[in-house]
Amino acid sequence: MTLSARDFCLSLGASTKIMGIVNVTPDSFSQDGCLAQKTGFVARAVRQARKMIREGADIVDIGGESTRPGAKRVSVKEEAGRVIPVIAKLAKNVSVPISVDTYKPAVARRALDAGASIVNNIQGVRAEKELLRMVRDYNAAIVLMHMRGTPRTMQRNTVYTRLIDDITASLQKSIEICLEIGIKSDKIIVDPGIGFGKSAEQNLEILHRLKEFKRLGYPVLIGTSRKSFIGQILEKDVQHRLMGTAATVCAAVLNGAHIVRVHDVKAIADTVRVADAIVNQKY
């Protein structure tokens, strides 16, 4: 399986790819936002991204709006002001794809102009057609994530008829819309949306049954890093969930994930390497 994103081509399957998270926000749930202090945030974000690449990140994902439960929207101007300078500077100096974590067409366009190759859209199942046409025209890749509502409202409705079937059906519909618009199949990634409109038990079910998403026929991205369901299991705060995150990443790899999205790249790179060796029965 191959992922094509503008000038980049990633081979998926033999080894799990790592997407490093760079939050250019003041209010990230993971407490790693580069905007905790407003001055110098571009340099901090660029340093963080470069460090992740040295540690093994195959993709860096730049986001300027928090998507934690209850988070409020920020304006296009504010979000673009956070992420575009970082993407523009990174694009000149790194040799891995840059992903922009946004659902706003205006931000996505500026990010693509600045050098991004992937649009990571948390509203993937309800993505605006303007954004999808833009992905097509720029020859970029797109992540289609499953989420109900918005980050502010998503945890109000976590009742499903059949969890995996419901998520799969929504993702399939999104895929079909992308294909109809003209996005090529090697540019589509699906994400079941761990923590986005799901309870802790449902997140565990998704991980346990992840292989069932293979029937969609597209690369699967999983983002469990430091999330609250890990904290609920371990009874630990966000800064003490590394080993729990590693366990979820290992489960995801063993169950067929192609890309894992994480904060702690160095530690998770070791986890992924061993998990891949188990899957492939060689190293």
Estimate the crossing angle of helix 242-254 against helix 265-280, to 10 degrees.
30
Contact 197, 158 (CB under 8 A): yes
Q: Please provide the size of the chain in residues.
A: 283
List, by residue number, the catalytic residues.
227, 261
Residue 118 CB neighbour total at 10 angstroms? 27
* Closest to 19 measured CA to CA, from 203, 255, 265: 265
Contact 101, 63 (CB under 8 A): yes
> In the chain, what's the furthest Cα-to-Cα distance?
49
Question: How many Å is the Cα radius of gyration of the chain?
Answer: 17
Taking the alpha carbons of 40, 42, 47, 52 in that order, is the dihedral positive or negative?
positive
Name the 3-class secondary structure at 219: coil
Contact 194, 223 (CB under 8 A): yes
